[in-house]
Amino acid sequence: MAYSKNTDSGLVVPKKWYEAIPRPSWSRFEKIETSQLWFSVYETTPETYAINEDGQFEEVISYLVLGEDTAALIDSGIGIGDIKRVVKELTDLPVIVVNTHAHLDHTGGNSTFEEIALYDHPFSRERAKGKPREGIDVGNYLSEGMYWKPLPRGIDPATWHTEPFKVTKWMREGDKIDLGGKELEVIHIPGHTPDSVCLLERRERLLFIGDIFYPAPIYIYSKESNMDEFITSFRKVVKPDYDYAMPGHNETKVEKKVVEDVLHAIEAIKAGKAGSYKTGVANGIKVRRYDYPRFALIVRDD
Ligand SMILES: [Zn+2]
C-alpha cells in the first residue's frame, strides 16, 4: 500500500490526481496495446513489460519478466482488472507469480494464477488467506475519486473484494527462481512490510524493488514499517550490481543512484542531521515529511 502522490502535505488524496497521468517518464517506453484498458502496458526492456494500473490512485506496477522457459509475473495488481488476460496476450510461457510482499494492492490478481511464490513469514501467511472487505482495505481502492478509468465489466465497487490464494512456493532469502537463461534472486528486505523482498535479475541488470522504494513520498511510519529495519534493508538493496530499480508504484526504471540517495537521506534523518521538514498527521500518526528532488520520506514524528 502506498498513498504516494506528490502533494503539499503528501498525506491527502489530491483532487484531480489523475490529470498527472500518464506521467511523462512513461513516454520513454513503447506502449503495448492489450484488450484490457484498465492497465497501460509498456515494454521497459527487451524481456520485461511493466503492467501499470494507472486507472487507480495507487498506480500499481506489476512486471512480466520473460525467461526462456518460464515467465514471472512480479506482483499481480489490485485485482480490479483482468491481469491474467494481459499476461496471456503478452506471452505463451507458463507463468509463476512472484510477489514482492503481501500487501493487497500487489496480490489482488493472485487467485487467478496456479503458481504463486511469496516470502515465508507469518505476515504473508496471514495475508494469503485473503482479506475480507473491511476497514481501510479493499473497499477504499474503489471509493469515490480513487479511480478514473471505466471499471472493467463485472466490477461493482459496492461488493468487489479480493479472493484468498494458494502459495505454491514459500520463498526464503537467497532462493533463485529459474526462468530459463535467467534467475530471480530473492533478497529479503523487511521494513515496508516484514515479508518484503527484492528480486535481482542479473541478465537485464534490474532490481525489482517492491515498495521499499518508489520515486514519490515513501512512507516509513505505518505499524508495519520500521525505520531501523528500513535502513538495514536499504543497505542490502544498494549492494548488488544492477543498473535500474523497478518499483511497484508510479514510475519505473529508476537509476540505482536515486536508490543510493534514499539510503543516504534516511541515514541522515536517523542521525538527526537531515535538513528541514514539514509536520502533519497521517492515519492518526504524527509524521514528518522530508523532501528531496526525486522522492520524499515520511517518518514518525516522535
Ligand atoms: Zn506495499
**Which residue did the predictor score with more confidence, 301 or 199?**
199
Cα 93 to Cα 64, 179, 279: the distances in Å are 11, 10, 49
Q: How far is the CA of 212 from the centre of ligand 1 (A)?
A: 8
Domain ranges of the chain: 17-300
Q: What is the third-level CATH fold of 17-300?
A: Metallo-beta-lactamase; Chain A (3.60.15)
- Average of pLDDT values for 284-292? 92
Q: How far is the CA of 272 from the centre of ligand 1 (A)?
A: 27
**At residue 105, does pLDDT exceed 80?**
yes
Q: How far is the CA of 163 from the centre of ligand 1 (A)?
A: 18
The pLDDT score that the predictor gives to residue 131 is 59
pTM of the complete model beyond 0.85: yes
Model confidence over 59-101: pLDDT tens digits?
A: 999 999 999 999 999 999 999 999 999 999 999 999 999 999 9
Q: How far is the CA of 190 from the centre of ligand 1 (A)?
A: 11
The pLDDT score that the predictor gives to residue 75 is 98
Model confidence over 189-216: pLDDT tens digits?
A: 998 889 999 999 999 999 999 998 988 8
Q: How far is the CA of 151 from the centre of ligand 1 (A)?
A: 23
Q: How far is the CA of 211 from the centre of ligand 1 (A)?
A: 5
- Residue 208: strand pairing partners: 199, 246
Q: How far is the CA of 196 from the centre of ligand 1 (A)?
A: 8
Classify the C-alpha dihedral 186-41-71-110 as positive or negative. Answer: positive
Model confidence over 151-178: pLDDT tens digits?
A: 999 999 888 888 889 999 999 999 999 9
pLDDT band for 9, please (50, 70, 90 cuts): very low
**At residue 7, does pLDDT exceed 60?**
no
